[in-house]
A and B are shown apart, each in its own frame.
Chain A
Amino acid sequence: MSAEAEKQIRQALADKHLQSALKSFTALTKIGRQMGMTGIDFPVLRQDLHNRKERAIDHLPQLIVQFKKNACDAGAIVFEAKTAEEAVNYVLKLARERGVKNIVKSKSMVSEEIDLRGKLEQVGIRVDETDIGERIVQLAGERPAHIVGPAIHKTREQIAGLFGKLLDREISTDAQILLDTARESLRDSYLKADMGISGANIAIADSGTLVILTNEGNGQMVTTLAPIHIAIVGIEKIVHDFADANAVLRLLSRSCVGTKMTSYVSFITGISKVDNSCDSFFPAGQGPRELHIILLDNGRSTMRESEMFRQALYCIKCGSCLNICPVFASVSGQTYGYVYQGGIGTVLTAFYHGWQLAHELAEMCMGCLSCRDVCPADIDIPQMIREVRKKYHEEKILNVDKTFVYRAVLKNPGVLNMTVKAGRFLQKPFVDRDAMIRKLPLVFGKITDIISLPSITPASLRDCSPTFKSTGDNDRSRVAFFSGCVASYLYTGLGESVLQALNNLNVIAIYPPDQTCCGAPVYFNGDSKTTLSMAVHNIEVLLETGADYIVTVCPGCAVMLKKEYLRLTEKDKILYSKALSVSGKIRDFSQLMIGHSGKAEVSKSGSTRVTYHDPCHLKRGLGIWLEPRKLIEVAGLELVEMDDADACCGFGGDSLLTHPDLCGSILNRKLDNIEATGADAVITACTACVLQLRGGLDKRGSKIKVVHIADLFKVTGHP
């Protein structure tokens, strides 16, 4: 994490205009999402789109040839640009040869990618951005904050200021007046332009057609009025046919703004002509006299070669992954992005602009999995972000302290225990009377500024685990408890609750003392090699117990054990079959209990009105969200749902250490939503979320209790 990036985050969080704009933006996109997803079978449509894009990318070399031939037959000129430089030079040369002085441009991320406007302005050509959002960003001298809404980070006051400066007069902040001003100030530019530049959302190979979508109508004018039209198209936009294009159209507008269709969808095939032209002396119609299509590679072919990153080429640039991203909601795409923003932007940045830049973005990801849920092309963005971290990790060396901790400590249960013991001693001066740590020295102070931390308990769960090696007849099912680090060292009481609850279920509860960290913190930092050794260790330890089920209280651990261990071991047949066996046994605590809820004894806590926070990895990682709610009902508690119950709490693995301010901002939104319910307690089902929420509420001096769902089953009298 560079100091510069950290500074940018702090600035973004302190920027009142930005924060106010982001708040309206996220409220708006939430409604848009609901609207857009109404009346369609999203899983079916996105599978269809995924399959079609997959097929198109598989056949890309042939499709390029086909597209080129058909577009040329229809009168277009097609240029294949390998690099950004080749594309820019083509445009500069053409502009020079045709004596172009004024250009109108519709929004195109590809042109941002190659900094086309900047290069044209350098040679003295006037370029007017015509998308109103892009126009605002141009006037502000900034880069777009969002793939679809470049100026979503600006307030009306700021926009009025920018247009006021342009037109040298006072402009009202009334929304419709601002729009009228923007429209009127652009009209002349269209009429006098000698060149129009656009991107394309889709290119259809079997007819040589470009498909261009705009809501404002500017795209219609940019592509028709000027004598020359240049369309810059990433090669990944090429699909086979109309049916493929329809699959994109079905989801694009619904995913980005929530409307069923974009206002204008233009299919452009070649250059215009006059019907029955033999009767007329007009050599062409009223469209541009020349259509140049630049097919841009700029790293896309390399991406296509990569098994891991190929999927990123399926992206239809709808921006839905940004709309849902908690990091984006805190700092916008100008901080969480280079040219392309957010999660998908991280991957695109790696290939188009370099791995160093991409890695800084990847580090900001909270790993909440929200983007994977909403992607209309069903791209596994979180997995690719992990791959960016991994690739960077393999090539460069991570932060030395972090690497040491991961390699030497976490993977070895003995060393881990000793380290924790040392920590137990070292923490002493900082532990308050209620066992919370509210202020730490040095770099750790950044964390305790955001949340209060639990102290390491006097004895770890491992130390007291022999008590729970229950014996009994062999026909009862055996349930092993994988506690995870937080329950092992910080919330041992919770661990004991789980074991008690299991005992009450009339199963044989086993606590394998040799279990170590699941590896999630290491894995998410991209160190797959160390993670694998941890996986191997845990797989052996867990299988040795002969357990029928393995219960977890931290969904982060559960996802590792159930899914990621499979991915890590897939190259080793024997290991993989063992991992598969472990995977099949994993049960989240609430999942296990709901099957036995009739027999479980629920302790009555003081609170009756509670709210529930969905842990990211439980809801999106394992698809479990109903079970905990049912358990709350069984417990006889009144559940008041909070807004965005499934939004990330901002824990995000070691993000607290790397990006404390960012985590704090995400946490604050969560805490506001919790407090707004008026509940006495917030229940959740993840030890890390408990840590984060408890620490945050303590900082606020709130009386709201944070309860892990397993603690609802605490036997009366037990600590």
Chain B
Amino acid sequence: MTKKIELIEKFKAEAAKAGAKVLVAENREKAIDHINNIIRSKRVNVVVKASCPLAGSLKLLNHLSEQNISVCETSLVQWAIRLTQNKEVPLEEVAGLVANATGEIVDHDPEAVLQAAKRALKNIYANADLGITEADFGIAETGTLITLENEGNQRLAAVLPRLHLTIIEAKNIVLDLAEAAEMIKRTAGGIPGCRLPTFITYLTGRNTTADIPGALFARAQGPEEEYILLIELE
């Protein structure tokens, strides 16, 4: 048990050293407080989120729409469901809805609908104030967040919006790169040669560059702030 606590402490320290802002919540209320603080202090009006099961089960984001904050689902299926208002509708109709949403003419062809949807979503990410994603694992030794996905919306929601918040559960923090690789393999199926998820992203601290003299560790091309909401439920 103490070993787990050490691991979590190490994670917090390393993530902070690498430039992330680490927020700790022992319960739902505390987590909501942290989110509210970001929303308020950073003037957030538009939120995009990608695959947030923990936030969903704890209902961390439900209060946002009550505050007139727009929260956009970014997985293609979720996004389409929103357009169709949760109804089963044929492709032609979805194409029409996507056309309405994007102002483009969209053929009744899955490829064309996909392209149009992607174009629409790109702008949604780029204009969002805050992207919220969840990490599958964390690495204590380096303060790294690991996200596994097939679709690509998590990495876009993590890099394009002005701010980014990653939610991670403390129990998913592992020691080092080697342990993380084991966990990834296990998640992917544990069979040697088994297909990995399309995108695995290791995010450490905040984006930065040394290309401009005198601006070491300044923000480069990703979000202005990287927040980590560490959920430590008792």
**Chain A interface residues (CB < 8 Å from chain B):** 21, 24-25, 28, 70, 73-74, 130-133, 136, 149-152, 154-156, 159, 175-176, 178-179, 182-183, 186-187, 191, 206-207, 209, 215-218, 220-221, 224-225, 227, 242-243, 246, 249-250, 257, 259-276, 279-287, 289
Cα of A673 to Cα of B209 in the assembled complex, Å:
30
User: Roughly how many angstroms separate A274 CA and B113 CA in the complex, as a whole number?
Assistant: 14
For the complex, give the distance between the alpha carbons of A422 and B113 in Å.
88
Q: Which residues in A have their C-beta under 8 angstroms from that of B151?
A: 272-275, 285-287
Do A282 and B76 touch across chains, with their CB atoms under 8 A apart?
yes
Chain B nearest CB: distance from A229 CB in Å? 11
Contact A280 B76 (CB under 8 A): yes
Return A328 CB to nearest CB of chain B, in Å.
16
Contact B201 A179 (CB under 8 A): no
Asked if residues B158 and A220 are in contact (CB atoms below 8 Å), the reply is yes
**Chain A residues with CB under 8 A of B94:** 281
- Asked if B221 is at the interface of the complex by the 8 Å CB criterion, the answer is yes
Q: Which of B23-31, B33-41, B211-219 contacts A (4 or more CB under 8 A)?
A: B211-219
Q: What are 15 of the A-B contact pairs (CB < 8 Å)? A: A175-B215, A207-B193, A215-B210, A217-B221, A220-B156, A224-B199, A260-B18, A260-B204, A261-B202, A261-B204, A273-B151, A275-B75, A281-B91, A282-B80, A282-B110
Chain A residues whose C-beta falls within 8 Å of the C-beta of B111 in the assembled complex: 283, 289
A261–B142 touching, CB < 8 Å: yes
Q: List the A residue with the shortest CB-CB distance to B184.
A: A242
B169 to chain A, nearest CB (A): 20
B121 in contact (CB, < 8 A): yes
- Chain A residue numbers with a CB within 8 Å of B185 are 242
B14 to A, closest residue via Cβ = A260
The residues of B with any CB-CB pair to A shorter than 8 Å are 14, 18, 75-77, 80, 91, 94, 110-111, 113-115, 117-118, 121-123, 126, 141-144, 150-153, 155-156, 158-160, 177-178, 181, 184-185, 192-193, 195-216, 218-223
The listed residue (B75, B201, B204, B207) touching A266 by CB distance below 8 A is: B201
Q: Which of chain B's residues has its CB closest to A21's CB? A: B213
Residue among A28, A217, A218 with most chain B CB within 10 A: A217
**Pairwise interchain contact A274-B201, C-beta atoms closer than 8 A:** no
Known contacts A74-B195, A175-B213, A191-B123: does B177 contact A285 (CB below 8 Å)? Answer: no
Q: Chain B contacts of A273 at CB under 8 A?
A: 150-151, 198
Q: What is the CA–CA distance of A28 and B150 in the complex, to the nearest angstrom?
A: 39
Distance (whole angstroms) from the CB of A124 to the closest CB of chain B:
24
User: Within the complex, what minimum Cβ distance (angstroms) separates A172 from chain B?
Assistant: 12
Measured CA separation A151–B212 after assembly (Å):
8
Task: Tell whether, in the assembled complex, residue B221 and residue A216 are in contact, meaning their CB atoms are under 8 Å apart.
Answer: yes
Provided the pairs A243-B178, A264-B201 are in contact, do residues A209 and B196 lie with their beta carbons within 8 angstroms?
yes
- B123 and A151 contact, CB distance less than 8 A: no
B195 touches which of A25, A242, A269, A281 (Cβ 8 Å): A269
Residue from B91, B198, B204 in contact with A268 in the complex, judged by beta carbons closer than 8 Å: B198
Q: State how many angstroms separate the Cβ of A591 from the closest Cβ of chain B.
A: 39
Task: Point out the residue from A131, A149, A272, A283 that lies within 8 Å of B199, measured CB to CB.
Answer: A272
| With known contacts A216-B221, A272-B199, A274-B77, A149–B152 Cβ distance under 8 A | no
Q: How far is the CA of A319 from the CA of B144 in the complex (A)?
A: 23
Asked if B76 and A186 make an inter-chain contact with CB atoms under 8 angstroms apart, the answer reads no
Which residue of B77, B153, B192, B212 is within 8 Å of A279 (Cβ)?
B77
Contacts A273-B150, A275-B150, A282-B117 given; 20 further ones with Cβ under 8 A? A24-B214, A25-B213, A28-B210, A70-B193, A73-B195, A136-B211, A156-B212, A176-B215, A176-B218, A176-B219, A217-B159, A217-B207, A217-B220, A218-B220, A221-B160, A242-B185, A243-B181, A264-B159, A274-B150, A280-B80
Which residues of B have CB within 8 Å of A262?
Answer: 204
Residue of B nearest to A253 (CB): B204
Instruction: Give chain A residues whose Cβ lies under 8 Å from the Cβ of B123.
Output: 191
Closest 10 pairs (CB-CB, A-B): A217-B222, A175-B215, A133-B211, A216-B220, A285-B151, A267-B200, A287-B152, A265-B202, A286-B152, A217-B207
Determine whether the beta carbon of A250 is less than 8 Å from that of B219. Answer: no
Contact B76 A274 (CB under 8 A): yes
B153 near A286: Cβ-Cβ < 8 Å:
yes
Bound form: Cα–Cα A262–B214 in Å: 19
Whether the Cβ atoms of A263 and B155 lie closer than 8 Å is: no
> In the assembled complex, which residues on chain B have CB atoms less than 8 Å from the CB atom of A242?
181, 184-185
Report the minimum CB–CB distance from A284 to chain B (whole Å).
Answer: 6
Task: With CB as the reference atom, state the residue of chain A lying closest to B226.
Answer: A263
Residues of B within 8 A of A155 (CB): 213
CA distance A132 to B178 in the complex (A): 32
The interface residues of chain B lying within 8 Å CB-to-CB of A263 are 18, 203-208, 222
How many Å from the CB of A115 to the closest CB on chain B?
Answer: 22
Contact A215 B220 (CB under 8 A): yes
Cβ contact within 8 Å between A216 and B142 = no
Find B209's partner among A133, A272, A281 (CB 8 Å cutoff).
A133
| CB proximity of B143 to chain A, nearest CB, Å | 8
Known: A216-B222, A242-B181, A259-B18. A274 touches B75 (CB 8 A): yes
Residues of A within 8 A of B181 (CB): 242-243, 246
- Which of the residues A175, A259, A269, A283 comes within 8 Å of B197, measured between beta carbons? A269
What separation, in Å, do the CA atoms of A132 and B199 have in the docked complex? 24
Does B155 contact A178, Cβ atoms closer than 8 Å?
Answer: no
* CB nearest neighbor in B for A209: B196
Contact partner of A269 (CB less than 8 A), chosen from B159, B196, B209, B212, is B196
Which residues of B have CB within 8 Å of A186? 221
